[in-house]
Structure 1
């Protein structure tokens, strides 16, 4: 049986939303939700939190006993350090057949969706050597020079009839150590674009995102 290590990297400091990774989100630290989601996926062998945050480390040790906590080295703590450098440090310490990386800022991502992505990948590997999640866009896009990107302005199709274009939403990546080391990238030569529903793909990047995600989470919890 293939081993799959789930990785959640988190910095203590956040520029646009202060302390967002551990900020209270409907009563629990934000990162608690994605960690719980990963722990509820049958195919995930182990969950690893990589962080420089004493707040996150203390909470995880007290409340998430099944999670492995790695303290991020000082030389990888700057906000300008590429994520792939952080991941290389992690995979150098944790052996696994495959790695799945996500973020604390995707609190609405469900265990069912993560498991579906894993199942598809394992069934189709090595036809696809990696997987990353995307959100379907069917809207009229333009570049900075006012050139149409994905439509003909002279043929006004309904947006739902436009050919879809996909946004990398950073909800999840599945890759091998070999791909990460050779390409310095989570995405291999033959990646699969795994589409995620827009609701689950809500990502917290700015303050307004936090408010929207928290409200959506509260409503969905009430409805369930």
Structure 2
């Protein structure tokens, strides 16, 4: 609870992952991938309730074992490849009304920590914005990106009078990292999006901003988590 306002956290996890089959419950450094998100969410000092939205019975059982509630089973038409990501969130809010704020925690961000979750919630309140999302510095600046025209010549993605050649001179930009989304429930039901012109940003370091989408992402996160755990064990 925050300022006497209730906070609901939703973890969406469907069973039909194509890039990495069954990735949400695949073992990552000793725990199912989804367990890393549940564990950090449960540490939050603001979240009142953590629920899973899934149509998959195996994912549901794993999530329950690690402490997430499963108050409903997601309809299968909301678990298709083409289903917009916001639809399961809207469905969950209609199933569980009367929460003042909603936090979306995607299970594909295992490096995210509770300080990021609570920090994003706090940033929303500090700025007075109806929503806040986590961002990070992109590895490659869009000012150095190009499209290829029909004649196969390159064209800057962002029009510039002069191409900047030194990174220090580039405008500072940020990209969504998919780790934390927070919004006032009434506003989200109205706009159907966490991203509007009034959304504030919580900046996360790149080291906690990995979003698992490929096998390489999975292996990299596993390596980093094991390295972190080994370092912590040596300090004890």
TM-score norm. by structure 1 comes to 0.90
Please identify, of 66-75 and 49-58, the stretch whose mean Cα deviation from structure 2 is larger.
66-75
SS of the residue 2:207 aligns to = coil
Aligned pairs for 1:48-59 (under 5 A) are 48-59=51-62
Q: Where does residue 151 of structure 2 map in the other structure?
A: none
Q: Who is 2:205 aligned against?
A: 197
Deviations 1:28-87 (A, max 9, x none): 1100000000000111111011011111111233342x5344311122121211111111
Shift, 1:151, TM fit? 6.5
Show CA shifts across 1:185-222 (max 9, x none). Answer: 12234111211110101010011000001101111121
Deviates more, 1:186-195 or 1:66-75: 66-75
Structure 1 residue 41 and structure 2 residue 41: aligned?
A: no
CA distance in 2, matches of 1:110, 1:78: 29
Q: State whether residues 46 and 68 of structure 1, in contact with CA within 8 Å, keep that contact through their aligned partners in structure 2.
A: no
Q: Secondary structure at the match of 1:147?
A: strand
Choose 194-203 or 137-146, whichever is displaced more.
Answer: 137-146
Gaps of 5+ in 1: none
| 1:179–1:188 CA contact under 8 A, matched in 2 | no
Query: What is the CA–CA distance in structure 2 between the aligned matches of 1:184 and 1:47, rounded to whole Å?
Result: 21
The 3 A distance-change label for structure 1 pair 122 and 206 is same
Two-structure CA RMSD over aligned residues (Å): 1.9
Between Structure 1 and Structure 2, whose CA radius of gyration is higher?
2
- 1:106-152 Cα offsets, whole Å, 9 max, x none, are 00100112111112212332xx1211111113635223133333876
Q: Does the residue aligned with 1:134 lie in a helix, a strand or coil?
A: strand
Give ranges in structure 2 of 5+ residues lacking alignment.
149-153
Q: In structure 2, what is the equivalent of residue 89 of structure 1?
A: 91
Q: Distance in 1 between matches of 2:59 and 2:137?
A: 33
Q: Which residue is 1:17 aligned to?
A: 20
Q: 1:9, 1:103 within 8 Å by CA — same for their partners in 2?
A: yes
Equivalenced residue count is 220
TM superposition outliers: structure 1 runs of 4+ over 6 Å: none
Matched-pair contact (CA < 8 Å) for 2:24–2:32: yes
Corresponding residue number in structure 1 for 2:188:
180
Q: What is the TM-score when the length of structure 2 is the normalising length?
A: 0.86
* Aligned equivalents of 1:90, 1:27: Cα separation in 2: 30
Decide whether the 8 Å contact of 1:141 with 1:151 is kept in 2: no
